A and B are shown apart, each in its own frame.
Chain A
Amino acid sequence: MTGPRVTALSAVPRLRRGVKTTYDETRASHVVLFPEGVLVLNETAAAVVGLCDGLRSVEGIALRLAEQFEGVEPDDVAELVERLVARRVVDVDG
């Protein structure tokens, strides 16, 4: 377990400067590239990262994803954003 969650549902995540996303044919996965690492994403995580645009809130991302995937909970999105913040891939405002 990590510490208490601090990412609010109203928080607005965006990719940090110097972070790129791309599709890797070798691994057949979406990946996040940042200064010292690579994150290989599953389908849901890739969808969340794709919506971290500095405009949508965590709740907004969850609503948008619910159109695509079943059983998307805002808390699950918040937890994933929290992990991306810890890896310095994403910043949040608000």
Chain B
Amino acid sequence: MGEAPRADAPFGLLAELTHRCPLRCGYCSNPVDLVGRGDELDTARWRQVFDQARALGVLQVHLSGGEPLARKDLPELVDHAAGLGCYVNLVTSGLGLTPDRLADLRGVDHVQLSVQDAHEASANRIAGVRAFEHKLRAAEAIRGAGLPLTVNVVLHRLNLDHVGDIVALAERMGADRLELANTQYYGWALRNRAALLPTREQLARAGEVVAAAQARSAMEIVYVIADYHEAHPKPCMHGWGARQLTVAPNGDVLPCPAAGVIDGLGVENVRDRPLADIWHTSPAFTAFRGFDWMRDPCRSCARRELDFGGCRCQAFQLTGDAAATDPVCTLSPHHGLVEAILAGGPADVEHRAVVR
């Protein structure tokens, strides 16, 4: 074994401060084995993570979860990341995001607010709690503070037909950006896949509505495709261990939020080793970095520079082999697995568990 080549520095850190969350969305991408409060990194350790991330080259810190507002030390963590010169993005459900709370978060540069649907009853049903009204007030507070706002909506069978009304709601909320992301099947969303998978007809109709809105609206509208229905896989994370890293609430350092599902990945923890060492040399990061790990059909495929073989977590989840071509790809020998899933019928949603 030769020495692994040093990777380029990452641009972004997804800091999953906690898995605690007031919402119970069935599409949640958090792992099914949620980290409890007792195993969360403390304030001093998170500050150290931000110091190490900035020294490594991280310029954007996404404060996420779970619900980051569940951390009482959030103002201190925001100040610390902002003080290092990082762009601080708060990713929130909006529950508890009052004008007073926002006033303590002056270092935040941008807020991403999740919305479940355009209509109150449906939105609350998807969230598993009465959240809709709180989100309208949170959006007001964000705009009142003069902060740029992105509204994030995860799309699936239960809300995809309302995408036109969702665009209108985001405009009423005063969003600068709207991110319409079809569900990616990890964590709780994978467990609820049968309930969440849209039909091809739903996707076709929504695609037309989104394209028309993109042409008309002053908001920037980002549309993330439904990869199970595509011919080629998504360029997951723009390549493994290439641009961003995730630190889970317990300090596990991951190439993406879902990577903990891959057996034997050799995940390391910030309590044990410096972040830069983990980024450059940890087996979890070197395993699928670059192109050497690929087998055919990816190895000899011209598209490998475009999609990097797709998603390693998805390959593992569907085939049991994280080095396989993402089965979403029609060139994958396992593509029949995806076709069989799409041919299956719908089911009921199971809300994500409550963690304390």
Contact = CB atoms under 8 A, between A and B. Distances in A.
A17 B112 CA distance: 15
B87 A33 contact: yes
B57 A33 contact: no
A34 to B, nearest CB: 8
Nearest to B54: A26
List the 8 closest pairs (A to B, CB-CB), nearest first.
A18-B148, A33-B87, A26-B57, A35-B110, A38-B11, A18-B110, A17-B148, A22-B85
A1 B85 CA distance: 35
Nearest to B82: A20
30 contacts: A16-B148, A17-B146, A17-B176, A18-B109, A18-B110, A18-B176, A22-B59, A22-B85, A24-B57, A26-B55, A26-B56, A27-B57, A33-B59, A33-B60, A33-B109, A35-B89, A35-B109, A35-B110, A35-B112, A35-B148, A35-B150, A35-B177, A36-B177, A36-B222, A37-B11, A38-B11, A38-B12, A38-B59, A38-B60, A88-B220
A27 B59 CA distance: 11
B292 to A, nearest CB: 25
Contacts of A26: 9, 55-57
A31 interface: yes
Contacts of B60: 33, 38
Contacts of B87: 20, 33-34, 38
B353 interface: no
Interface string A72-90: 0000000000000000100
B338 interface: no
A30 to B, nearest CB: 12
A66 B212 CA distance: 42
B147 interface: yes
Contacts of A18: 109-110, 147-148, 176
Interface string B239-258: 00000000000000000000
B: interface residue count bin = 20 to 34
Interface in B59-113: 59-60, 85, 87, 89, 109-110, 112
A33 B57 CA distance: 13
B109 A20 contact: yes
Contacts of B9: 26-27
Interface of B: 9, 11-12, 55-57, 59-60, 85, 87, 89, 109-110, 112, 146-148, 150, 176-177, 220, 222
Contacts of A31: 59
Contacts of B176: 17-18, 35
B109 to A, nearest CB: 6
Interface in A1-27: 16-18, 20, 22, 24, 26-27
A91 to B, nearest CB: 11
Contacts of B56: 26
Contacts of B220: 88
A37 B147 CA distance: 17
Most-contacted residue by chain A among B55, B57, B59, B110 (CB, 10 A): B59
Given A26-B56, A36-B222, A38-B12, 20 more contacts: A16-B148, A18-B110, A18-B147, A18-B176, A22-B59, A22-B85, A24-B57, A26-B9, A26-B55, A27-B57, A31-B59, A33-B60, A34-B87, A35-B110, A35-B112, A35-B148, A35-B150, A35-B176, A36-B150, A38-B60
Interface string A52-82: 0000000000000000000000000000000
Contacts of A20: 87, 109
A16 B57 CA distance: 24
B335 to A, nearest CB: 31
B142 to A, nearest CB: 11
Most chain A beta carbons < 10 A, residue from B11, B87, B112: B87
Contacts of B150: 35-36
Nearest to A24: B59
A33 to B, nearest CB: 4
A86 B35 CA distance: 40
